[in-house]
Amino acid sequence: MKMTGTWKGVLVGGAVGAACALLLAPQSGRKLRESMRRSAHDMFDKTADVTQSVREKTAELAKDIRDKTAELKKSVHDKTAEMAHEAADKTTEAVKAIGGKVESISEKTRDMAASAMNKSGDGEEDSPDKAKTTH
């Protein structure tokens, strides 16, 4: 676990404060050593508790992040698949529509060509409409 500067300061400050309090308090050597031992033990226990708490919170956060990431991944995958299907459907519709128009244009062109061929073969040059336009 990485310790931030704040936590290091709290732990060091607490240890220095406890040591100063013990050393400046009027006690005998034996009582002072016992008191320092208890204080060190308490400090160790508190540090272990904080470390365990940080580990548990970190594990919870990591699990939450994994779960949210999995949900997001599934959501993106589902939406992408949906959009791909919609695009495929619209492309199919467009191809059908274009194909129908091409067929219709092709038929009209054939009809016009056949009509033009029939008119030119029927002596269209002598038609009354042409005579009106030339006069």
**Is residue 127 domain-resident?**
no
**Is residue 126 domain-resident?**
no
Residue that is written with structure tokens 């191809």 in the block: 95
Q: Write the single-letter amino acid at 94.
A: A
**Is residue 19 domain-resident?**
yes
pTM across the whole model? 0.44
Buried b (16+ CB within 10 A) or exposed e, 78-114: eeeeeeeeeeeeeeeeeeeeeeeeeeeeeeeeeeeee
Return averaged pLDDT per consecutive 10 residues of the chain, 135 residues in all. 70 78 70 80 87 92 96 95 92 83 83 83 52 47
**Is residue 5 domain-resident?**
no
Give φ, ψ of 127 to 5 degrees.
-70, 155
**Is residue 94 domain-resident?**
yes
**Is residue 133 domain-resident?**
no
Please tell me the predicted confidence (pLDDT) of residue 75.
Answer: 95
Cβ partners under 8 Å of residue 36, min gap 6: 19, 22
Cβ partners under 8 Å of residue 15, min gap 6: 43
Please tell me the predicted confidence (pLDDT) of residue 2.
Answer: 59
Domain interval for residue 90: 11-121
Total structural domains in the chain? 1
**Is residue 4 domain-resident?**
no
